[in-house]
Amino acid sequence: MLKQYGYVRVGAIVPELKVGNVLFNADEIIKQIKLANEKGVQIVTTPELSLTGYTCSDLFHQDILLTSSLVGLQKIVDEIKDLDIISIIGMPVSLDNQLFNTAVIISKGKILGVVPKTYIPNYEEFYEKRWFQSSLNAISNTITLLGEEVPFGIDLLFQDKENKNICFAIEICEDLWSVTPPSNEHTLAGANIIFNLSASNEIIGKYEYRKNLVKMQSAKTKCAYIYASAGINESTTDVVFSGHSLIAESGNILTEGERFSFDSSLIIADVDTYKIMNDRHKDISYMGIKPHLPHRTIQVAIKDANTDLLRTYSMYPFVPSNEEKRNSRCYEIFNIQASGLAKRLKHTGMKKAVIGISGGLDSTLAFLIIVEAFKKLGIDNKNIIAVTMPGFGTTGRTYQNAVNLIKSFGATLKEVDIKESCNVHFNDIGQDPNKFDVTYENVQARERTQILMDIANKEGGLVIGTGDLSELALGWCTYNGDHMSMYAVNTSIPKTLVRYLVKWIADTHENMAATIYDILDTPISPELLPPDQKGNITQKTENTVGPYILHDFFLYHFFRYGASPKKIYLIAKNTFKDMYTDEEIKKWLTFFLKRFFSQQFKRSCLPDGPKVGTISLSPRGDLRMPSDGDVNIWLQDLEEF
């Protein structure tokens, strides 16, 4: 089931090992492969020279060790031939009068190919050239192994027969540490999963360096990178190994094994090849250079793991879960927003900004951005014309919070009650003022925008927009009302991130923290409908459009990775299983898709605003979408689930 969504379950084994005891090692590898198969792993790798042990040294010149290696390989092939798993075994292989350090790929009793190591380390504690030759010295491109003639070389790609978007390749240890790793060529040729069989010893600082190396190679080549290194049982003489195993994807570590254990270990992760391919398709520079190495493609049968998805996703994809990282991210975003506005003010020569303050989260964030921009430019906060515009739905709580916020920063407070002018307009257009429909609401939104624009003309300032990314995705804004401004600072900040940004600012600005904390506790509302008899907000946005936590999740995976509705539904069900029913998730995903397509015309004429993250819906930046695109195939895809 998972393969149709691009997921491949991969594993890295660090087996318990006895240096030079091939049969013991083969038995332990078999045991771990069987365990991996039980857990639904489709492709698994062992470390470098795991069949013999990496530290055999001059024992590699002993015929009995090489002969035993073939016996051990035969045993592995025979013992796992009925398992539906592809296994990659590290072992020495003799060919063309030379000895090679190789990875042997086996599946269902067959050897699929043999990949030799290219870069042979021969410095400091490494002296592999005493025993092994580089792949560059190979003459043959096939090898007879266990009676079968199979492909041999570093030019091998292994592609799934059913899903051509799933393709893996192999490099060995030092290959990754070189200036031009073979995986550069493999990924340019189409591989999106790289397995590395390694034997990397431990010295101070090497752990972090190696981890960063794997992360960056997976990021640079846009691939999943599975790394398995020799365990502590390899330690001998002057070197100690830890059994460092990692699975990374596009610069992110998905899982990491425990180091310095004498027991065997297995790490597993579901890597997302569709996500990887979407990243490659978007990055036109990715294929800016063609691979220099011609590759041979071997068709393989990768089973479809009929299991639940192991991979987990954050409920808040726009918000880092780590507090330190989140604070750092908030600082960065805050400065990007403020710097963008400061540049616009500096370029236009204007010294004033006009903003409507509602007492809600979005306008609070935009106001604080203006304060920071003025600070950068040395402009007095009195030049911030902050306008509160009470309407039919304004409550005492939001009104007072708006006033307190403005006064706490010394901005200029203007109050314009819009009820009378809206009633005049209702009369002009024949609208029943007791009919609380979309016209009733939008008249207020457009009246407020007109007031802000006119004040800006009068004062010689810029109207600063407050709408956020989530509202733009849903089109939840009044066309030529709150939809419009002269510079929109929140345009690429999703609703779930707005809350964290505002809280971060409150935590670092004690003088007005109480007001902001109360704003954070206020329900999200446009306050366009009358409050209840006790003066409380009756119009709550999420009751109408659905939970923003879901919509931001949908937006992130739909836009950032081009995920299909079925795939989004699958991962949303897993992620929010304790919060929402499957029916609720499907309902709001359907709502999101319909709104995203039908409301594109609003996004086609957005005001300028700073891009701060990987997702922006600006028609001049990241989104070139027809205003009249048809949503039906996306809805049909969801219905097929």
Per residue in 203-237, pLDDT (tens digit) is 999 999 999 999 999 999 999 999 999 999 998 88
510 pLDDT above the threshold of 70:
no
Q: Sheet holding 86-95: strands in order across? A: 110-116, 98-107, 86-95, 43-45, 7-14, 265-272
| CA 507 to each of CA 286, 501, 502, 503: distance values in angstroms, whole numbers, following the listed order | 41, 10, 9, 6
How many residues make up the chain in this entry? 641
263 pLDDT above the threshold of 90:
yes
Determine the average pLDDT of the residues in 160-188.
Answer: 97
Kind plus residue range of the DSSP H or E element containing 275: helix 273-282
537 pLDDT above the threshold of 70:
no
DSSP letter string, 427-463: HHHT--TT--SHHHHHHHHHHHHHHHHHHHHHHTEEE
Please report which confidence band the pLDDT of residue 243 belongs to, taking 50, 70 and 90 as the band edges.
very high
As given in the structure block, the two tokens for residue 252 are: 């992110």
pLDDT of residue 124: 87
Burial of 394 (0-12, 13-18, 19+ CB in 10 A): buried
pLDDT of residue 512: 65
pLDDT of residue 525: 66
Please report, rounded to a whole number, the percentage of residues in the chain having pLDDT higher than 90: 88
Closest by CA to 359, choosing from 315, 316, 407, 312, is: 407
Closest by CA to 235, choosing from 259, 214, 268, is: 259
pLDDT of residue 496: 94
Active-site residue identified among 48, 171, 202, 471:
48
Report which DSSP code applies to 558. Answer: I
604 pLDDT above the threshold of 80:
yes
d(CA 25, CA 72): 8
pLDDT of residue 443: 95
For the range 23-26, what are the long-range contacts, defined as Cβ-Cβ under 8 Å and sequence gap of 24 or more? 23/68, 23/71, 23/72, 23/75, 25/50, 25/51, 25/52, 25/53, 25/72, 26/51, 26/72, 26/73, 26/75, 26/76
- Are 387 and 394 contacting, i.e. CB atoms less than 8 angstroms apart? no
pLDDT of residue 543: 81
Neighbours of 622 (CB within 10 A): 16
Query: When comparing pLDDT for 518 and 373, which is higher?
Result: 373
CA angle 136, 137, 142 (to 5 degrees): 90
pLDDT of residue 190: 97
Exposure string of 13-31, with b = 16+ CB inside 10 Å and e = fewer, is bbbbbebbebebbbbbbbe
Domain ranges of the chain: 2-300, 323-545+603-612
DSSP letter string, 522-582: SPP----S---TTS-----HHHHH--HHHHHHHHIIIIIS---HHHHHHHHHHHSTTTS-H
Bridge partners of 31, per DSSP, are none
542 in active site: no
Please report, rounded to a whole number, the percentage of residues in the chain having pLDDT higher than 70: 98
- List, for residues 541-585, the tens digit of each pLDDT value: 788 889 999 999 999 999 999 999 999 999 999 999 999 999 999
Q: Can you count the helices (H) and strands (E) in the chain?
A: 20, 20
Radius of gyration, alpha carbons of the chain: 31
As given in the structure block, the two tokens for residue 495 are: 């609703």
520 pLDDT above the threshold of 90:
no
Phi-psi domain of 152 (left: phi exceeds 0; alpha: psi -120 through 50; beta: other): beta
pLDDT of residue 521: 85
- Are 229 and 242 contacting, i.e. CB atoms less than 8 angstroms apart? yes
As given in the structure block, the two tokens for residue 156 are: 């091998």
Determine the average pLDDT of the residues in 332-356.
Answer: 97
Largest pairwise CA distance in the chain: 100
Active-site residue identified among 16, 28, 56, 173:
173
| CA 189 to each of CA 161, 186, 297, 556: distance values in angstroms, whole numbers, following the listed order | 17, 5, 10, 29
pLDDT of residue 300: 97
- Phi and psi, residue 196, nearest 5°: -120, 115
CA angle 560, 488, 513 (to 5 degrees): 95
- Are 15 and 25 contacting, i.e. CB atoms less than 8 angstroms apart? yes
d(CA 496, CA 318): 7
- Phi and psi, residue 199, nearest 5°: -140, 85
Please report which confidence band the pLDDT of residue 527 belongs to, taking 50, 70 and 90 as the band edges.
low
- Are 315 and 576 contacting, i.e. CB atoms less than 8 angstroms apart? yes
Please report which confidence band the pLDDT of residue 278 belongs to, taking 50, 70 and 90 as the band edges.
very high
pLDDT of residue 61: 96
509 pLDDT above the threshold of 80:
no
Exposure string of 60-95, with b = 16+ CB inside 10 Å and e = fewer, is beeeebbebbbebbebbbebbeebebbbbbbbbbeb
Domain 2-300 has CATH 3.60.110.10: yes
d(CA 296, CA 151): 9
Determine the average pLDDT of the residues in 272-298.
Answer: 93
pLDDT of residue 528: 62
d(CA 612, CA 341): 13
| CA 60 to each of CA 100, 201, 243: distance values in angstroms, whole numbers, following the listed order | 10, 19, 22
The contacts of residue 58 (CB under 8 Å, 6+ apart) are 130, 131
Closest by CA to 443, choosing from 387, 526, 364, is: 526
d(CA 637, CA 452): 44
d(CA 561, CA 43): 24
Q: In Å, how far from its chain's centre is CA 171? A: 25
Q: Are strands 487-488 and 461-465 parallel, antiparallel or unpaired?
A: parallel
Domain 323-545+603-612 has CATH 3.90.1170.20: no
pLDDT of residue 348: 97
Determine the average pLDDT of the residues in 17-33.
Answer: 98
117 in active site: yes
2-300 and 323-545+603-612 agree in CATH topology: no
pLDDT of residue 211: 97
Active-site residue identified among 3, 117, 352, 586:
117
- List, for residues 368-414, the tens digit of each pLDDT value: 999 999 999 999 999 999 999 999 988 889 999 999 999 999 999 99
- Are 11 and 168 contacting, i.e. CB atoms less than 8 angstroms apart? no
